[in-house]
Amino acid sequence: MPLKPLDIYKLLPKKNCKECGDPTCLTFAMKLSGGKAKPEACPYLDDNAKTILGASTRPPVRRIRIGVGERALTVGEELVQFRHEKSFFHEPGIMIAVTDMMPAESIKKEVIFVRDWVLTRIGTDLRLNGIAVRSVSGSPEQFARAVGAVEEVADLPEVLMADDPLVMEAGLSVCGNYRPLIHAARLLQYREMCRLAKKYGCPLAIKADSLDSLAELSGLCVAEGVDHLVLDLSSPNLHALLNASTAVRQHAISRTTPALGYPVCIDTGLGGLSDASLIAGVTKFGSVLICDDLPGASRKALLVLRQNIYTDPQKPIQITPGLYRVGTPGRDSPVLLTVNFSLTFFTLQGYLEASRVPCFMLIVDTEGLSVLTAVASGKLQETVVRDAIGKYDLANEVSHRTLIIPGYSAPLSGRIEEITGWKVLVGPRDAADIAEFLEKEWKP
Amino acid sequence: MGLTPLSEWSGQIGELVIGATRTDGGTRSHAVTIGGERDLPYIGIPPSGHIPRVAYELTDDPSLWQSAAIRTIGDRAHDPSDWAAFAEKELQPDLIRLYLSSTRRRGFSDLSQIGKTVEAVLQATKLPLIIEGSNDPALDSSVFRKIGEAAEGERVLLGTAESGRYRSAAAAAMAYGHSLIAQSPIDINLAKQLNILLRETGLPHDRIAIDPYTGALGYGFEYSYSVMERIRYSALKGDTDLAMPLISSAADSLTVKEVREAEGGDADQAAVAWEMYSMLPATLAGASIVCVRHPLSIAGLKSAIASLWNGQKSVGV
Ligand code: B12
Ligand code: SF4
């Protein structure tokens, strides 16, 4: 739990000197409590206040960055166990694994695929995030060669997977400056791995047999000067995995065990149930998900699940109400009414584009509710439609006076006609049928 | 001793039994018990309560069913008892959910056929059953009575009661010893309210399963996922009006764009992926029964659930 503003206020010097950039100590305390300011901004904190505030304002799950540039992956900074409590923030990165036994050409093909593949949904591009390189051969040269093949193609975030520090160093000598995740330090070799992490400024994944030894190992790494850590919880046993990831999230956000306050990494290729591990990883607190093989159908479903779980539950993804054009509509083109829920807008827009009929989309404000939900809750009403027609000056955009409304809003058609004076044409329920509908029913 | 999940719950989910064996006066080969948890899904060694179950959905009117679901079923789809027998033998779900979709056709009147279908399916499979009746208040009374009667003694789970129409289904459940699915549209307060209404009819709490309505993956699933988590959370915190096991169905999955527009063999893979990627998360959010329509979804879901439950590849009944 973050400290309350008043508790923080008690710790502050109460000089109201404004040096922190805030008008008073109290407003500064409120910012600190909300995580919107750093304690360092006040030059007069005593040591006691510094330690207490230092601990309580650092996010309970540390923020970690993997990779550099546009595609760099940021994970961590999560605050809650259930998304309905606030929201989950940083989507887990999906890292497709290649091995150092693969010919360079196959590696490159895989990397190009990860770089370029994209699924566009609700106006957002959903992508895979990076590449994991597994050392299977045990040879440093071969590992370096595989990492080199990845580097030749793209600057994607990478996970270097080798237990032998010598092999790891060979990989890092190729791509160490691009901040790959070093995977993984264990109790036996953590000193060497920490040395590499420091030398290259890379985040470090750590791995141990139990959560207790993992917490111990995390403390040891911090003592070595490495505190950008990722906890590896991979297990072929999904029960063990889920219990561990749940425990880590609970211990982290309650600040019960700060040594577990780091993002979680899961190698989903271990138990032969990769779909299930990926699902557990996305829903239950995974941040870096490594997977060997992701068939097309699973890939799409996985990215959609991730998008669903990581949307903000307090507000639906919305678009700005207004008059939108599909193609280059003229004065006799049809006008289709719909709501400002993004999913609805983009679904309808997609089918309209496919129909190749230029038209207008009149988007009314339903506070982001879908058609049926808006009708059921009364957010879509004749008055809303009338106001939108006026506001967006529809009467001057088109020469006709006909409005096509969604099939699911049919009960409103009479009332819309009455209040607006426009003729209402009830469209199909499913937007997939819109092309056929326009062809048959639309005459200006 | 060791770092484990931090559990501080006071409540417990109630248990619900579906199916009656010979000793209980029915003809099922076994009964399925769900619920009973004192913690979050799958948490604890061993986890508390009962393992989530997979139900396979079929219908008496395949023309109303998604083609993705019946493509591989072939002619059996025209006879629900053949279909059920095949499912029990080849697909091995934990339960069968029979939709009497014919009651949803305009002008439906053949009540006696409903009774016959239920009896034939009970003959054809020994698995515990979930049976879905009409969704029209004008028909509910006669349809639910017919189903209740035909399945008397078998302790089926009847569906579906909603806030606007729950009396007939509840009356049939009480008169013939069945349990009831209580569905509300993705809202914890509406779910609670319906349970209170049902309590007032006299239906005991241990005969109710909550269906908070499941939007398809990519089409509202996030709301359903969170409402399930919230219901489970409130129940564990001690709200007994929400402490019933949850049931979730991927029914809408097979009509989403991504599945409809996939072709050939890809269509099966898309359907299975969409069901898997919504129903396994549903169990993680708290669902005790998850329902699928694609025959190839069952095995994968069952082994994933088994591994989440105790790390094994499969769990016996
Ligand atoms: C997710 C969801 C919610 C979310 C809201 C999500 C959102 N941003 O809208 C939440 C949980 C908040 C919710 C709340 C409610 N919901 Co709700 N919800 C759903 C659910 C599962 C999916 C809705 C969705 O996203 N659909 C996808 C979008 C793309 O669909 P769409 O907007 O309708 O668009 C399609 C068509 O209409 C068409 N189309 C769109 N525009 C146009 C335009 C033209 C011209 C044409 C021709 C076609 C067209 O194309 C699109 C694709 O085919 C549905 C069930 C379902 N399967 O639909 C229930 C559902 C819509 N909800 C329902 C209800 C009752 C409610 C509540 C009233 C319940 C309550 N709590 O009181 C509330 C109302 C909201 C409120 N604030 O009070 C009922 C509606 C019953 C009815 N038939 O009227 C449904 C059907 C569930 C059910 N079976 O009970 N809901
Ligand atoms: S700098 Fe410190 S003492 Fe000065 S106003 Fe800000 S919080 Fe108060």
Start-to-end CA span in chain B (Å)? 32
With 90 as the cut, is the pLDDT of residue A236 above it? yes
Q: Is B270 on the interface with A (CB under 8 A)?
A: yes
Q: Which ligand gives the minimal distance to the CA of A406?
A: 1
Average pLDDT over residues A1-27: 85
Name chain A contacts of B278, Cβ cutoff 8 Å. 305
Contact A305 B262 (CB under 8 A): no
User: What would the CATH number be for the domain defined by A322-441?
Assistant: 3.40.50.11600
Dihedral angle over CA of A435, A439, A441, A442, nearest 10: 100
The residue length of chain A stands at: 444
Q: Which ligand gives the minimal distance to the CA of A30?
A: 2
CA gap A82, A84 in Å, rounded: 5
Distance A29 CA to ligand 2 centre (A): 9
CA A45 to ligand 2: nearest atom: 2
Residue pair A337/A423 in contact by the 8 Å Cβ criterion:
no
Supply the residue whose CA is at minimum distance from atom 5 of ligand 2: A16
Residues 167-206, chain B, touching A (beta carbon < 8 A): 185
Distance A232 CA to ligand 1 centre (A): 40
CA gap B226, A176 in Å, rounded: 40
Residue among B6, B229, B311 whose CB faces A237 most closely:
B311
| Residue B89 backbone phi and psi in degrees, to 5 | -75, -45
Residue pair B208/B16 in contact by the 8 Å Cβ criterion:
yes
Predicted local distance difference test score (pLDDT) of residue A317: 87
Q: DSSP string of A197-243?
A: HHHHT--EEE--SSHHHHHHHHHHHHHTT---EEEE---S-HHHHHH
- Top pLDDT among B85 and A11 is at B85
Q: Is B45 on the interface with A (CB under 8 A)?
A: yes
| Residue A160 backbone phi and psi in degrees, to 5 | -95, 120
With 90 as the cut, is the pLDDT of residue A48 above it? no
CA A18 to ligand 2: nearest atom: 5
- Could you tell me which chain B residue has the CA closest to the CA of A348? B257
Contact B47 A279 (CB under 8 A): no
> What is the number of CB-based contacts under 8 A between chain A and chain B?
143
Predicted local distance difference test score (pLDDT) of residue B1: 42
Q: Is B269 on the interface with A (CB under 8 A)?
A: yes
Question: Strand order in A402-405's β-sheet?
Answer: A322-326, A359-364, A335-339, A402-405, A423-426
Cβ contacts of residue A175 below 8 Å, gap of 6+?
A147, A150, A151, A158, A160
What CA–CA distances, in Å, run from A231 to A51, A216, A266, B77?
Answer: 25, 12, 9, 49
Supply the residue whose CA is at minimum distance from atom 3 of ligand 2: A15
Tell me which residue of B261, B251, B180, B162 sits closest to B215, measured CA to CA: B251
To which residue do tokens 């309560």 refer? B49
Confidence of residue A140 (pLDDT cuts 50, 70, 90): very high
Distance A55 CA to ligand 2 centre (A): 19
Q: Domain A64-309 belongs to what topology?
A: TIM Barrel (3.20.20)
Contact A243 B308 (CB under 8 A): no
Alpha helices in chain B (DSSP H): 67-70, 80-86, 111-124, 137-150, 167-176, 188-201, 221-236, 257-260, 264-285, 297-310
Supply the residue whose CA is at minimum distance from atom 7 of ligand 2: A25
| Residue A361 backbone phi and psi in degrees, to 5 | -115, 120
Q: pLDDT 10s digit of each residue in chain B, 317 long?
A: 478 988 889 999 999 999 999 999 999 999 999 999 999 999 999 999 999 999 999 999 999 899 889 988 999 999 999 999 999 999 999 999 999 999 999 989 899 999 999 999 999 999 999 999 999 999 999 999 999 999 999 999 999 999 999 999 999 999 999 999 999 999 999 999 999 999 999 999 999 999 999 999 999 999 999 999 999 999 999 999 999 999 999 998 999 989 988 877 789 999 999 999 999 999 999 999 999 999 999 999 999 999 999 998 655 44
Alpha helices in A3-139 (DSSP H): 5-11, 25-33, 47-57, 104-116
Q: How many C-beta atoms lie closer than 10 Å to residue B29's C-beta?
A: 14
**Six-digit token pair at A50?**
């510094």
Minimal Cα–Cα distance from B158 to chain A, Å?
A: 26
Cβ contacts of residue A222 below 8 Å, gap of 6+?
A229, A259
Exposed/middle/buried for residue B311 (C-beta within 10 Å: 0-12, 13-18, 19+): middle
Distance A344 CA to ligand 1 centre (A): 10
CA gap A38, A28 in Å, rounded: 9
CA angle A168, A70, A311 (to 5 degrees): 105
Q: Is A1 on the interface with B (CB under 8 A)?
A: no
User: What would the CATH number be for the domain defined by B19-309?
Assistant: 3.20.20.20
To which residue do tokens 């914890």 refer? B188
Contact B273 A297 (CB under 8 A): yes
CA gap B71, A238 in Å, rounded: 32
- Could you tell me which chain A residue has the CA closest to the CA of B2? A212
Partners of residue B237 on adjacent β-strands: none
Residue among B2, B4, B217 whose CB faces A301 most closely:
B217
Distance A138 CA to ligand 2 centre (A): 56
Average pLDDT over residues A41-57: 77
Tell me which residue of A44, A43, A12 sits closest to A28, measured CA to CA: A12
Q: How many C-beta atoms lie closer than 10 Å to residue A37's C-beta?
A: 19
Confidence of residue A439 (pLDDT cuts 50, 70, 90): very high
Predicted local distance difference test score (pLDDT) of residue A41: 82
Residue pair A145/A170 in contact by the 8 Å Cβ criterion:
no
Confidence of residue A47 (pLDDT cuts 50, 70, 90): confident
Predicted local distance difference test score (pLDDT) of residue A333: 96
Residue among B257, B274, B307 whose CB faces A238 most closely:
B307
Q: Please state the domain extents for chain A.
A: 5-57, 64-309, 322-441
CA gap A268, A367 in Å, rounded: 39
Q: Is A215 on the interface with B (CB under 8 A)?
A: yes
**Six-digit token pair at A442?**
């639309």
**Six-digit token pair at B78?**
């025209």
Q: Is A271 on the interface with B (CB under 8 A)?
A: yes
Contact B284 A283 (CB under 8 A): yes
With 90 as the cut, is the pLDDT of residue A240 above it? yes
Burial A311-350 (b: 16+ CB within 10 A, else e): bebeebbbbebebbebeebeeebbbbbbbbbbbbbbbbbb
How confident is the model over A309-331, as pLDDT tens digits? 999 998 888 999 999 999 999 99
CA gap A311, B243 in Å, rounded: 27
Of A9, A12, A33, A45, the one to substitute when testing ligand 2's pocket (max ligand atoms within 8 A of C-beta) is A12
CATH class held by domain A5-57:
mainly alpha
What pTM was computed for the model? 0.91
Partners of residue A404 on adjacent β-strands: A336, A425
CA A41 to ligand 2: nearest atom: 1
